[in-house]
Structure 1
Amino acid sequence: MKNLPILDISIILLYLLAMVLVGVYFARKNKSAEQFTKASGKIPGWAIGLSIYATFLSSNTFLGVPGKAFGGNWNAFVFSISMPFAAWIASKYFVPFYRSVGGISAYSHLEHRFGPWARTYAVICFLLTQLARMGSIFFGIALSLQALTGYSMSTVMIVMGISIIIYTVMGGMEAVIWTEVVQGVIKTLGALLIIYLIVDDMPGGISKIIDIGTTDNKFSLGSFSPNLTESTFWVVLFYGFFINLNNFGMDQNYVQRYHTASTEKEATKSVWLCVWLYVPASLLFFIIGVCLYAYYQVHPEFTDFIKSQVAAERLPSSATQAQISEMAASLKPADYGDKVMPHFMVNKIPVGLVGLIVSAILSAAMSTISSGMNASATVFTVDIFKRYFKPDLTDKQNLRTLHITTVIFGLMGMGTGLAMIGVKSLLDIWWELSGIFAGGMLGLFLLGMISRKAKNTEAFTATLIGIAVILWMTFSNFIPEQYEFLRSPFHKNMIIVVGTLTIFLAGIIITKLKGNKQAAIEA
């Protein structure tokens, strides 16, 4: 444990204060629900693109990706490689679609297409995904700051959560976007600074890092075998394509930004700007992971210290030193990868620079959480509260409801983060929960867009089939061994792929069969 010097603490507090003041600044313009949710549609495309980039580049990337690369290889980078394919579809079909329908909610059109149940189902899936996203980010930042400051995870989450809630509630979407523009720049500079500090302190420099990384196969993108039971290149590519398609096409965080642009062209430019920034930026964090791996290979005393810390955390407080040492010796890099970055920051980064890098990590967390809070509040107010409880909301009541629900979702996100304390891999838990909670809603959306003949009954039946498949894949590991043949043969990252395809294809097949039956009756 190490307490931060006054200079670093001052830098962090100044950053948090600056974010709150941004909210205060934009609060003077934030007088209507349209301004709160859409910034009146006057944000330039480059700023929207930077804000989407900042949302993608969360603390899950800042902390989880280096930990994943440290414990494994560059297999997870295939997620980033899939982004341009999803962006092409989004820019060609999704952006024009949402700009044409006009509504701020990403899900209101599902009601027009299939009925109220479809809209509600998509909203529930989205809100669960947001809670998982916010919770994993709260957990990630608390994990880092606990090591740096000595404060408890709950204290870190509360202080950060209050700051985020204040500037998000006061400033609305315009504050979220412009703070994310700044945060996107800070995060990228922070990543470059960390790489420089590791390389500068590494005996043998870059060549030594490359030698160790090559010897231990750290640069591998995974097996190219057509095996869907393990995290191969193809599994991550499929997962990345479908989750990014879900992000660009069904995630309120991104769809809401399409409406903040002045034109469709500006909205499309924002999608591509995000992609061309995120792909190389994410590569930086995989490079950080390999650099840390090489650094700790030549400094085994640091590795032993981290392993002892992790073992002590996982064992009961009554465990003896011998038991801790025994468990520490059995730990593999994947078991403590998320702990390495905070340890390096505590012990190797000079005073003053720690505050700057922590601010970069905070910005990574704050941008995604604030976006999630604003989008969740918007969806709940439009798709649940106004739809089912108070359809005649005045603009003043609408704005008040948005403020209240923003606070509620911020608090719920903190609660989810507290529940995640103790998970093994930050990136793994986020990927798994996002795949499950997405619930195949992308399949329902694609069914509505592509099949003009699919109606309410066919879509509802297909969705029930998709939910059953998702539940089976999620919980099949709990099936007793004597019925092992009933377990899912797929890797957990395939849940969103199989769930989406199940709903879409089931809807197409049921529609076709119903059409054939009707044609036979008429004949």
Structure 2
Amino acid sequence: MSNLHLPDIVIIFIYLVGMIGVGFYFSRKNKTASQFTKASGKIPGWALGLSLYATFLSSNTFLGVPGKAFGSNWNAYVFSLSMPLAAWIASKYFVPFYRSQGAVSAYTNLEQRFGTWARTYAVVCFLLTQLARMGSVFFGIAISLQALTQVPMSTIMILMGICIIIYTVMGGIEAVIWTEVVQGVIKTFGAGLILYLIVRDLPGGFRDVISVGTTDHKFSLGTLSLNFTESSFWVVLFYGFFINLNNFGMDQNYVQRYHAAPSEKQARRSVWLCVYIYVPASLLFFFIGTSLYAYYNLHPGMLNDIRQLAAAEKHNAGHVAGSVADIATSLKPNEYGDKVMPDFMVRKIPAGLLGLIISAILSAAMSSISSSMNSSATVFTEDIFKRYIQPNTTGKKDMKVLYIATVAFGLLGMCTGLAMIGAKSVLDIWWELSGIFAGGMLGLFLLGLISKTSRNADAITATLIGTLVILWMTLPSFIPDRFCFLRSPFHKNMIIVIGTLTILLTGSLIAKLRAKSARSV
């Protein structure tokens, strides 16, 4: 660990041991599946709100957002601005709906509404989303720790995966929630500390950040023109609204917490507390990225070192042809933005404090991955094992399946992260994959909730059409060049928007036409 000193290593070790200790502590309470998946509904709303905040604030935010702000501007912050409207809909409609349903799985109601196929379809979409989420988080944490430790990214993912699996399997959802409460505080403190250290080393302090950022348009939220072919203000706003609607309304990570609250009122409060904290906290990370841009503009030699490192990785991975020097010259800021903050940490953060910062980054990764592991195991047990394999299981059998599924999804998430090594931007990866997998299940859920007259056949037809639209927007390269006019002109962040609306509107229209036809007979 060439870039870490003994105090840093000790702090990181204490943090990791502490997280595993939390898992062992809560393992004494996990005697039933209800305790493992819902904490028996005894978690206070304020803790659930901090837990939701920590789930949002993954290492994709901690590392990806500063990298995105460094490489481009604040366009991605529009995602945060879309949260309040999605939260209002969730607290008014989704929370009461799930609390009244009673089932721990978010997808049981789809079977009641449209049949077995609908539940299975949503489960597959959810599990693929969680694998993408865990993989991008593993990848993000490996980028940072590789720069700090010189340990290969694959080794970092494996070691981290083992620690996360142990404390998640032992502690269940209660351990996940209470550790996320602590981790949310650690992450926010760590981000504030990084910003202070960056600005402290700028000759003009915040004035330099404002000056450089204004000159180079780093504070732009994107073009306000109704342009859906690039990442405009409206594209990110619509993407953010639909993906947050999916988070609060269809994501098992969030629905499971609604059941962990002692009352509906506490569950609604947790949603709003998450929004109240996340919207300003995410702005902090964008300001970190712009501050790093101002700092490295004053130190071009250091910036060239980052380019050389990124170019060497691309050259060794075989992603780009040419010499390292030629690749480095051609790289754009958005292609090495994720490496800037780890580089600053290596160079400028003193021993001891570096250990705290790394612990903050680790906490960002661990909270997201552990939450995804627990929710994925819950969905597998409730919607696959108990639905298709062994419906009448005992409490001990349920716990055994939950333990095995938690480990399995942790390992699969780790493998997904390994497959992402060499990608450009961790935030771009996550946004694209989540939009692809979430669009179908959100559209189906909204169809069942909004269109009261839609039936099973309507939903099947609408979902097939919506899936084809999502594939058309996802795989443009499969359309030959001579038919390039058939390729989707929309930005990829519009996949969830168009996919969701296609299913909802098509299903509703078919239901209305069928009803009209029945009345005319």
TM range (shorter): over 0.9
Partner of 2:271: 271
SS in 2 for 1:315: helix
Instruction: Compute the displacement of 1:2 (Å).
Output: 3.8
Q: How does 1:242-321 map to 2 (within 5 A)?
A: 242-316=242-316
Q: Are 2:142 and 1:145 aligned?
A: no
| Matched AA of 2:332 | K
Show CA shifts across 1:147-186 (max 9, x none). 1011111111111111111111111010000000000000
| Matched AA of 1:123 | V
Partner of 2:471: 471
Instruction: Compute the displacement of 1:318 (Å).
Output: 10
Q: Are 2:61 and 1:61 aligned?
A: yes
Instruction: Compute the displacement of 1:323 (Å).
Output: 2.6
- Taking the aligned partners of 2:484 and 2:158, their CA distance within structure 1 comes to 44
- Taking the aligned partners of 2:448 and 2:333, their CA distance within structure 1 comes to 45
Partner of 2:192: 192
Asked if structure 1 preserves the Cα contact closer than 8 Å seen for 2:373 and 2:406, the reply is yes
Show CA shifts across 1:284-319 (max 9, x none). 000000000000000000011011111111124899
1:231–1:9 Cα change, 3 Å: same
SS in 2 for 1:488: coil
Percent identity between the two aligned chains: 71
- Taking the aligned partners of 1:477 and 1:406, their CA distance within structure 2 comes to 36
Instruction: Compute the displacement of 1:10 (Å).
Output: 1.1
Instruction: Compute the displacement of 1:479 (Å).
Output: 1.6
| Matched AA of 2:437 | F
- Taking the aligned partners of 1:276 and 1:184, their CA distance within structure 2 comes to 13
- Taking the aligned partners of 2:316 and 2:253, their CA distance within structure 1 comes to 41
- Taking the aligned partners of 1:495 and 1:2, their CA distance within structure 2 comes to 43
| Matched AA of 1:104 | V
SS in 2 for 1:246: helix
| Matched AA of 1:375 | S
- Taking the aligned partners of 2:512 and 2:452, their CA distance within structure 1 comes to 11
For these two proteins, the number of residue pairs brought into alignment is 520
SS in 1 for 2:225: coil
Q: Are 2:432 and 1:432 aligned?
A: yes
| Matched AA of 2:419 | A
Could you tell me the TM-score, scaled by structure 1's length? 0.98
Asked if structure 2 preserves the Cα contact closer than 8 Å seen for 1:2 and 1:147, the reply is no
Asked if structure 2 preserves the Cα contact closer than 8 Å seen for 1:107 and 1:123, the reply is yes
Instruction: Compute the displacement of 1:68 (Å).
Output: 0.2
Could you tell me the TM-score, scaled by structure 2's length? 0.98
- Taking the aligned partners of 1:182 and 1:311, their CA distance within structure 2 comes to 37
- Taking the aligned partners of 1:9 and 1:186, their CA distance within structure 2 comes to 17
Instruction: Compute the displacement of 1:433 (Å).
Output: 0.3
Asked if structure 2 preserves the Cα contact closer than 8 Å seen for 1:2 and 1:346, the reply is no
Partner of 1:43: 43
- Taking the aligned partners of 2:130 and 2:326, their CA distance within structure 1 comes to 39
Show CA shifts across 1:14-43 (max 9, x none). 100000000011111111100000000000
1:317–1:153 Cα change, 3 Å: closer
- Taking the aligned partners of 1:188 and 1:59, their CA distance within structure 2 comes to 12
| Unaligned segments of structure 2, at least 5 residues | none
Partner of 1:344: 344
Partner of 1:499: 499
- Taking the aligned partners of 1:318 and 1:251, their CA distance within structure 2 comes to 36
| Matched AA of 2:108 | S
Q: How does 1:418-457 map to 2 (within 5 A)?
A: 418-457=418-457
Q: How does 1:69-468 map to 2 (within 5 A)?
A: 69-316=69-316, 323-468=323-468
| Unaligned segments of structure 1, at least 5 residues | none
Asked if structure 1 preserves the Cα contact closer than 8 Å seen for 2:36 and 2:174, the reply is yes
Show CA shifts across 1:446-501 (max 9, x none). 11111111111100110000000000000123322221110111100000000000
| Matched AA of 1:290 | T
Q: Are 2:25 and 1:25 aligned?
A: yes
- Taking the aligned partners of 1:104 and 1:192, their CA distance within structure 2 comes to 37
- Taking the aligned partners of 2:144 and 2:208, their CA distance within structure 1 comes to 27
Instruction: Compute the displacement of 1:520 (Å).
Output: 2.0
| Matched AA of 1:484 | C
Q: How does 1:3-14 map to 2 (within 5 A)?
A: 3-14=3-14
- Taking the aligned partners of 1:439 and 1:123, their CA distance within structure 2 comes to 13
RMSD (Å) for aligned C-alpha atoms: 1.4
